[in-house]
Amino acid sequence: MTKRSSAGLYSPIERDVRLDFFRGIGLWMIFLDHIPHDVVGWLTLRNYGFSDAAEFFVFISGYLVGFIYVPIVKDGMFMAALKRLWRRAAQMYVAHIMLFLIFTAQIARTVRRFDNPMYEDEFNVHNFLQHPDILIGQALTLRYKPVNLDVLPLFITLIVAAPFIVWGLVRRPNLTLLLSVALYIPARIFDWNIASYPPGTTWYFNPFCWQLMFVFAAWCGTGQIEKYAHVIWSRLGMTIATLWLLFAFLIVMTWHVPALGALVPKWMIKVIYPIDKTDLDMLRLTHFFALAVIVTSIVSRDWKPLYTKWLHPAILCGRHSLPLFCVGVFLSFSAHWILTQFTKGVWEQLAVSLLGIVIMIGIGWVLDRASDVPDLFVQVLETDEPKPAVEVGVVPAVQIAKA
């Protein structure tokens, strides 16, 4: 580590391996969830509770923003934080556009090659293939998004707003969180959202609502959550979290076993439904919080299994979440195509799911090795005046040689 002159900007930050691990698990779950009717998808979180991998990623991103950038802004380096975060948002934007272009090309080629228009309708690319001149502009402004490409625009929006969220957390952390809640409530009541394409539609992930998860995570990343640790991780807090996870599990089981639905009182059905993902329903939000309470009580920073070879593949993937998310989108469509065109047998589902995860791990390993290779650069010094060839009072080496 380089020794740094500003404590916030240059102090070494210890990597929390847990975040990489859960991001890796989240990437695998997203890949599996994007394969329709895949038996391996039963391993993902959404089949056993209200929340899913989307909450994983938004929370971890927000937590890292608070943990890393609040000390930087405290040291007066707001512009440095803004530059770094907006550069990251630009990288996400470029990744999204490239993913959009390649993904639509992949679907178009599949439709033409196998003469099956089902794919263009299923993945919402029919309009693009019919009117690319119009839809490319809508895609560049993040209004038009094929299926499975909705989450990156949300992250771009949150990361663009992140410097100002951090600025608020530095000065008034609790007030900043309260303002986030104050935005979430009317956004749900009045259906505030960003317009999408075609006209009359909106973003699948409403940033006015999902910002609450992001801001709360950043608030936790600043250390504010530690003030309430004695309550949250108390016996009472753990009991409430466990009961809430059990309740969510029982409700979700009624989706898979319709006969169990008769056991749910009608008044409860009216209260809890619909459990809206677009506007981050409170049932999803609180379910994730309860899950986080239980998991963090078990998986500490020095949890020994994190440093074994068995969990290392997930950690590898979590270190390179952006490229592997993009790869996962392509792999999920490829797996869907294989199962649709050839066979949907259980063994085939197991094979394509396992192969996709193995490919993600392999790419993660390559990216990890590549990050160890030094970056070559040429440092160019800019000066106002040309430096004299011979400094005053110094005898040139040529004259010394002649003497």
pLDDT digits (tens, 9 = 90+) for 5-59: 455 555 666 778 999 999 999 999 999 999 988 899 999 999 999 999 999 999 9
**Which range among 127-141, 256-270, 361-375 shows the weakest confidence by mean pLDDT?**
127-141
Contact assessment for residue 24 and residue 318, using Cβ atoms and an 8 Å cutoff: yes
**Which range among 148-162, 244-258, 389-403 shows the weakest confidence by mean pLDDT?**
389-403
- Looking at every residue in the chain, the average pLDDT score rounds to 88
Which pLDDT belongs to residue 331?
94
CA 54, 56, 62, 68 dihedral sign is negative
Of residues 14 and 239, more confidently modeled: 239
Which residues neighbour 147 within 8 Å (Cβ) at sequence distance 6 or greater?
122, 123, 124
Which residues neighbour 31 within 8 Å (Cβ) at sequence distance 6 or greater?
328, 331, 332, 353, 356, 357, 360
- 36: cis peptide before it, omega within 30°? no
Averaged pLDDT for residues 65-88? 95
Contact assessment for residue 29 and residue 52, using Cβ atoms and an 8 Å cutoff: yes
Overall residue count recorded for the chain in this entry: 403
Q: Which residues of 54-91 are buried (b: 16+ CB within 10 A; e: fewer)?
A: bbbbbbbbbbbbbbbbbbbbbbebbebbbebbeebbee
Which pLDDT belongs to residue 7?
52
Q: Residue 225: count other Cβ atoms within 10 Å of its Cβ.
A: 16
Contact assessment for residue 162 and residue 86, using Cβ atoms and an 8 Å cutoff: no
Task: Write the pLDDT tens digit of every residue in 214-238.
Answer: 999 999 999 999 999 999 999 999 9
Tell me the DSSP string of 64-113.
HHHHHHHHHHHTT-HHHHHHHHHHHHHHHHHHHHHHHHHHHHHHHHHHHH
User: How far is it, in rounded angstroms, from Cα 185 to Cα 173?
Assistant: 19
Task: Write the pLDDT tens digit of every residue in 84-140.
Answer: 999 999 999 999 999 999 988 888 888 777 766 677 777 777 777 787 888 889 999
Residue 204: how many CA atoms within 13 Å on its side-chain side?
13
Question: What phi, psi does 195 have (nearest 5°)?
Answer: -65, 145
With residues binned 3-state (H G I as helix, E B as strand, rest as coil), the percentages for the chain, rounded to 5, are: 70, 0, 30
Contact assessment for residue 56 and residue 22, using Cβ atoms and an 8 Å cutoff: yes
Task: Write the pLDDT tens digit of every residue in 268-303.
Answer: 999 999 999 999 999 999 999 999 999 999 999 889
Which pLDDT belongs to residue 318?
95
Which pLDDT belongs to residue 386?
59
Which pLDDT belongs to residue 86?
97
User: How far is it, in rounded angstroms, from Cα 267 to Cα 378?
Assistant: 69
Task: Write the pLDDT tens digit of every residue in 346-364.
Answer: 999 999 999 999 999 999 9
Which pLDDT belongs to residue 397?
45
Task: Write the pLDDT tens digit of every residue in 169-197.
Answer: 999 999 999 999 999 999 999 999 999 98
Which pLDDT belongs to residue 236?
97
Residue 119 exposed, middle or buried by CB count within 10 Å (0-12, 13-18, 19+): buried
**Does residue 400 have a pLDDT over 60?**
no
**Does residue 403 have a pLDDT over 50?**
no
Residue 139: how many CA atoms within 13 Å on its side-chain side?
26
Which pLDDT belongs to residue 399?
47
**Does residue 396 have a pLDDT over 60?**
no
